[in-house]
Amino acid sequence: MRYLFLLSLVFVVFACKEEQTSTTEESTETTSKEVIELRNKVAQLELESNQKDSVLNEAISFFNEVQSNLAKINIKEEEIRVRSNNPELTNEDQEWILKEIQHINFLRKQNANTVNVLKKKIQDKDLRISELENMTDRLVMQIRARDEQIASLQRTLADLDMEYSELFDEYQEQVELALDVMKEMNTVHYAYGTLDELIDNQVLVREGGFIGIGKKTNIAEDLNQDYFQSMDKTKVKEITVVGKKPELVTDHPISSYEWKNNKLIILDADKFWRISNYLVITVK
């Protein structure tokens, strides 16, 4: 009887132990799952935090780059305005302005590309950082405002270029007219030959006298221009004459020239051509 009681007691103890062991194992298994889930959540949060930090760091770098470009554009705009307002704008200034506008356009494209890259990074990582998105929107607004200012400046420069172009055309016309007048004023004509040759070619005429006596040799009124050679009095200082005993028929101050062999040396062009722009020389 006693043995039966002890045996029963042993069975009870073992049963309790088995039940306790089973409960403990179930509890341990549940705890392990919770720990794993918690660790996964922490790892995910750390990953998202690192991603946000990475994007924020890149965003700050992008913002600094865009702001630097906007500052450069602002400086260049001011320099362009100063130079374009100069009434004595030179070709060198115009070339400089064109290069600066090209550089401004390059900076504008660079800004647009930078903002697009930043937006794509935010979308690809599926991050929602409200402050970062607000900063990006403000940056886009700054770029658009700057683009409008640049467009206005380019329109102003285009109008200015048109004005300068018209002024330049007028100036060129005046210059060409002045050059034509100057060329005409500096153009002189000369002819030489025997007396008979000059008379036959309607350069000289013999007038007056009686029965061939006392006639004077004068320049023909209807001068044959084709027989004369033209030259620039500011450039030609001597004339070679073929023939003997050359003599001047037209009037020229004697102190303004000299003869050296068969060459007429003009010592003072203004003085020599003051009376007439035509020179006629007879030779034997």
DSSP string, 171-207: HHHHHHHHHHHHHHHHEEEEEEE-HHHHHHTTSEEEE
CB 207 within 8 A of CB 219: no
Check residues 275 and 31 and name the one with the higher pLDDT. 275
- pLDDT at 132 > cutoff 50: yes
- pLDDT at 25 > cutoff 60: no
| Sign of the torsion formed by the C-alpha atoms of 185, 190, 195 and 198 | negative
Percentage above 70 pLDDT, the chain: 58
CATH code for residues 26-182: 1.20.58
pLDDT at 4: 41
- What lies within 8 Å, CB to CB, of 234 at 6+ separation is 186, 269
* 207-225 pLDDT tens trace: 764 444 546 778 888 889 9
pLDDT at 124: 59
What is the mean predicted confidence (pLDDT) over 94-107? 75
- pLDDT at 185 > cutoff 60: yes
Q: b/e for 42-51, b at 16 or more Cβ within 10 A?
A: eeeeeeeeee
Asked which of 10-14, 70-74, 83-87 is least confident by mean pLDDT, the reply is 10-14
CA distances 71 to 3, 64, 138, 250, Å, are 101, 10, 16, 75
Highest mean pLDDT among 21-30, 213-222, 254-263: 254-263
- Decide: helix, strand or coil at residue 219: strand
Residue 31: pLDDT band (50, 70, 90) is low
- pLDDT at 109 > cutoff 90: no
pLDDT at 3: 40
What is the mean predicted confidence (pLDDT) over 146-171? 68
Write down the domain spans for the chain: 26-182, 194-282
Q: Which helix (H) or strand (E) segment is 77 a member of?
A: helix 2-84
Helix axis angle for 91-124 and 2-84, nearest 10°, is 170
CB 70 within 8 A of CB 147: no
